[in-house]
């Protein structure tokens, strides 16, 4: 992978793996989600990675009817690339997780590249009061949870994407996920440029140490050469430090309240746009230009915003 002159900023503003009680700034309703996404795009995010929530209880949902209002609003007010989740929640079936991307045929969709333990339960040590009954159960149950993403699951999602012209953000939570992606590349079920989102700091996946970041980079370089675009996702307080390290080595970056609620030590981010602006300041200080949505489309060879189903 060669160094590039422009960095793609992805923003994930909808907080799928967190619960509403953890931050009053997490968007829940369609209006809140569209406002958060549009502000992030205006701040410099070329790609918006989106989940939906049930507005009655804040619970993650893959009901396409909950996606459509904010998708239409965002598309009408920004040129940003829309990236829809196929991850949803670890508690959902693969069929449920695929519903929005299948219906709306986005330019990009996320794809988790392997089954894994997905430990959210340590959050119970930091947060004691919850607004909805499902939230504490959601965290507690992750102690005995495998986030299922089998080879069959991945292959089905890839075939759906090929049929719809959708490309993927390959979310790699560990080194083994890179090898799984290499397998699908060898089988010609994926095609370069691969958009690899290296995820650090989720309990059950690779850690957030700088050596972990370097190990992920070295392995991806060895497996994929110049056939991939690299992006960094640091969970929690590791978001900006790891994004900075990755960007200095030529990576793209991902921010947003889905991945971290924080803007600094002990300070909640008031919006995902705040995080995007902070990252943009760092990138520009490193003399890295920020990719526009159309530049991101060209870099990732996307089909274009006029070819989606919303």
β-pairing, 52-53 with 194-200?
A: unpaired
Question: Where exactly are the structural domains of the chain?
Answer: 6-307
* Residue 195 neighbours by CB under 8 Å, 6+ apart: 108, 167, 168, 169, 170, 228, 229, 231, 300
Residue 8: pLDDT over 60 = yes
CATH 3.20.20.70 fits 6-307, yes or no: yes
Mean local confidence (pLDDT), 241-267: 96
pTM value? 0.96
pLDDT value of residue 2 = 44
Query: pLDDT tens for residues 76-102?
Result: 999 999 999 999 888 888 999 999 999
Q: What DSSP string runs through 20-86?
A: GGG-TTS--SHHHHHHHHHHHHHHT-SEEEE-EE-TTT--EE--HHHHHHHHHHHHHH--PEEEE-S
Mean pLDDT confidence for 146-167: 96
Do the bridges between strand 252-255 and strand 9-11 make them parallel or antiparallel, or are there none, so unpaired? parallel
pLDDT in the model for residue 4: 52
- Predicted pLDDT at 1: 44
Cβ atoms within 10 Å, residue 128:
8
Taking the C-alpha atoms of residue 53 and residue 194, their distance in angstroms, rounded to an integer, is 29
Share the mean pLDDT of the chain: 95
Q: Are 118 and 142 in contact (CB under 8 A)?
A: yes
Residue listed under structure tokens 């370097």: 214
pLDDT above 70 (res 242): yes
Give the residue-averaged pLDDT of 143-153.
Answer: 95
In DSSP terms, 205 is beta-bridged to 203
Q: 3-state DSSP call for residue 118?
A: coil
Q: Which is it for the CA torsion 159, 164, 167, 170, positive or negative?
A: negative
3-state secondary structure of 211: helix
């Amino acid at each position: 992978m060669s160094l590039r002159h422009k960095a793609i900023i992805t923003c994930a503003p909808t907080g799928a793996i967190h619960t509403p009680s953890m931050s009053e700034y997490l968007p829940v309703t369609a209006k809140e989600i569209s406002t958060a996404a549009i502000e992030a795009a205006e701040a410099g995010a070329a790609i918006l990675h989106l989940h939906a929530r049930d507005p009655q209880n804040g619970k993650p949902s893959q009901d396409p009817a909950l996606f459509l209002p904010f998708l239409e609003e965002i598309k009408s007010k920004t040129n940003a690339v829309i990236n829809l989740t196929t991850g949803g929640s670890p508690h959902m079936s693969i069929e449920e997780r695929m519903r929005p991307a299948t219906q709306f045929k986005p330019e990009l969709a996320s794809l988790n590249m392997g089954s894994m333990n997905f430990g959210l339960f340590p959050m119970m040590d930091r947060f004691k009061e919850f607004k909805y009954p499902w939230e504490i159960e959601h965290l507690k149950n992750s102690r005995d949870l495998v986030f299922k993403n089998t080879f069959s699951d991945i292959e089905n999602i890839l075939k759906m994407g090929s049929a719809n012209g959708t490309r993927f953000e390959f979310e790699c939570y560990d080194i083994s996920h890179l090898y799984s992606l290499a397998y699908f590349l060898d089988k010609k079920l994926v095609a370069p440029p691969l958009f690899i989102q290296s995820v650090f700091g989720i309990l059950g996946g690779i850690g957030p140490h700088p050596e972990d970041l370097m190990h992920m980079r070295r392995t991806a370089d060895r497996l994929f050469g110049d056939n991939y675009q690299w992006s960094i996702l640091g969970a929690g307080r590791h978001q900006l430090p790891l994004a900075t390290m990755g960007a200095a080595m030529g990576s793209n970056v991902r921010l947003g309240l889905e991945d971290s609620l924080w803007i600094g030590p002990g300070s909640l981010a008031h919006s995902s746009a705040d995080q995007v602006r902070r990252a943009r300041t760092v990138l520009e200080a490193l003399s890295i230009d920020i990719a526009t949505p159309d530049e991101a489309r060209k870099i990732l060879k996307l089909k274009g915003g006029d070819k989606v189903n919303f």
